[in-house]
């Protein structure tokens, strides 16, 4: 396999060529322009990419109703860290290696916005007060120093038909419990019980600590 491996940018450029237009390079900016701000304000969802000091990477979904990201100024974004399963992968990575990226999406919109920069984890009460939902505030927030911002074209969305209303796979896609079952060796009954517990937690404690606290199916005789 190594005989076909691309190992340098020169090899890559020889195969694929240079950017097709100067605007492809020039489209990135070091600030949040008015249009990029508007896109972020409309977006209910982003993928957060972080990196650990050992070089490993992680991508995690983030989302709330549109307006969930506070745009402090043209160089700063603030995101709430909502309760989750307490793995804290993204937060721990940011503490140890601040470089990160965000990919914002809007349903039915074929363009995306990419943000690259560095971040810190904050418990600043003034920032946390910006993110109340159902009377609950987050305990942490992510403060992003923007280094690069750019719009990304629609080709991937068009090829994948991501927002196509006829693209229905929900009933066939593995659930979270099923995605865990193979390597945890859970049988069908245990997997279903775990699915039910996760679903109940998600519905009842969306903005509380989302932790399946019932006894583990594996611990039951």
Q: Are residues 104 and 66 in the same domain?
A: yes
In this structure, the dihedral spanned by the alpha carbons of residues 4, 10, 16 and 19, taken in order and rounded to 10 degrees, is: 150
CATH number of the CATH domain containing 141:
2.30.110.10
The set of residues, in sequence order, having a beta carbon less than 8 Å from that of 49 and lying 6+ positions away, is: 57, 58, 59, 100, 101, 102, 103
Q: How far apart are CA 187 and CA 213, in angstroms?
A: 20
Q: Are strands 112-122 and 70-73 parallel, antiparallel or unpaired?
A: unpaired
Tens of pLDDT along the chain (221 residues) come to 788 999 999 998 899 888 877 766 667 899 999 999 999 999 999 999 999 989 999 999 999 999 999 999 999 999 999 987 788 999 999 999 999 999 999 999 999 999 999 999 999 999 999 999 988 999 999 999 999 999 998 999 899 888 887 766 667 788 777 888 888 887 777 778 877 877 777 766 666 544 333 333 333 33
Q: Are residues 146 and 52 in the same domain?
A: yes
Q: Are residues 31 and 131 in the same domain?
A: yes
Q: How far apart are CA 183 and CA 195, in angstroms?
A: 16
Predicted confidence at residue 206, as pLDDT, reads 66
Residue 1 lies in a domain: no
Q: How far apart are CA 171 and CA 14, in angstroms?
A: 44
Q: How far apart are CA 150 and CA 103, in angstroms?
A: 10
Predicted confidence at residue 198, as pLDDT, reads 75
Predicted confidence at residue 194, as pLDDT, reads 78
DSSP string of 42-91, one letter each residue: H--EEEEEEE-TTS-EEEEEEE-STT-SEEEETTEEEEEE---SS--HHH
Q: Are residues 149 and 194 in the same domain?
A: no
Q: Are residues 146 and 196 in the same domain?
A: no
Predicted confidence at residue 94, as pLDDT, reads 97
Q: Are residues 209 and 153 in the same domain?
A: no
Predicted confidence at residue 199, as pLDDT, reads 77
- Rounded to whole angstroms, what are the CA distances from 205 to 91, 121, 193? 21, 23, 18
Predicted confidence at residue 212, as pLDDT, reads 37
Q: Are residues 102 and 210 in the same domain?
A: no
| Bridge partners, residue 153, by sequence | none
Residue 169 lies in a domain: no
Q: Are residues 59 and 155 in the same domain?
A: yes
Residue 110 lies in a domain: yes
Residue 97 lies in a domain: yes
Q: At what angle do helices 188-204 and 176-184 cross, to 10 degrees?
A: 140
Predicted confidence at residue 26, as pLDDT, reads 65
Predicted confidence at residue 215, as pLDDT, reads 37
Q: Are residues 42 and 149 in the same domain?
A: yes
Task: State the residue range of the domain holding 106.
Answer: 26-160
Q: Are residues 30 and 63 in the same domain?
A: yes
- pTM greater than the 0.85 cutoff: no
Please report how many Cα atoms fall inside a 13 Å half-sphere around the Cα of residue 117, on the Cβ side.
25
Residue 15 lies in a domain: no
Which bin fits 172, alpha (ψ -120 to 50), beta or left (φ > 0)?
alpha
Question: Do the beta carbons of residue 147 and residue 136 sit within 8 Å?
Answer: no
What phi and psi, each to the nearest 5 degrees, are found at residue 164?
-65, 125
Residue 16 lies in a domain: no
Predicted confidence at residue 221, as pLDDT, reads 37
Predicted confidence at residue 162, as pLDDT, reads 87
Predicted confidence at residue 74, as pLDDT, reads 97
Q: Are residues 95 and 190 in the same domain?
A: no
Q: How far apart are CA 68 and CA 45, in angstroms?
A: 9
């Amino acid at each position: 396999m190594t005989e076909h491996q691309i190992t340098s940018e020169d090899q890559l450029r020889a195969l694929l060529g240079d950017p097709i237009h100067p605007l492809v390079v020039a489209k990135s900016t070091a600030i949040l322009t008015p249009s990029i701000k508007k896109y972020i304000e409309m977006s209910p969802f982003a993928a957060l990419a972080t990196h650990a000091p050992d070089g490993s990477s992680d991508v995690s979904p983030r989302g709330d109703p549109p307006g969930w990201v506070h745009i402090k100024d043209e160089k700063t974004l603030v995101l709430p860290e909502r309760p989750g399963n307490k793995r804290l992968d993204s937060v721990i990575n940011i503490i140890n290696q601040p470089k990160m990226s965000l990919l914002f999406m809007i349903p039915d919109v074929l363009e995306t916005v990419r943000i690259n920069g560095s971040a810190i984890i904050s418990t600043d009460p003034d920032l946390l007060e910006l993110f109340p939902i159902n009377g609950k505030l987050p305990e942490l927030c992510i403060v992003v120093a923007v280094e690069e911002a750019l719009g990304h074209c629609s080709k991937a969305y068009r090829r994948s038909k991501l927002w196509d209303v006829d693209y229905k796979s929900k009933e066939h896609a593995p659930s979270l419990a099923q995605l865990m079952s193979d390597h945890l060796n859970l049988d069908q009954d245990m997997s279903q019980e775990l699915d039910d517990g996760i679903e109940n937690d998600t519905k009842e404690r969306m903005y509380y600590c989302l932790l399946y606290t019932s006894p583990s199916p594996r611990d039951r005789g």
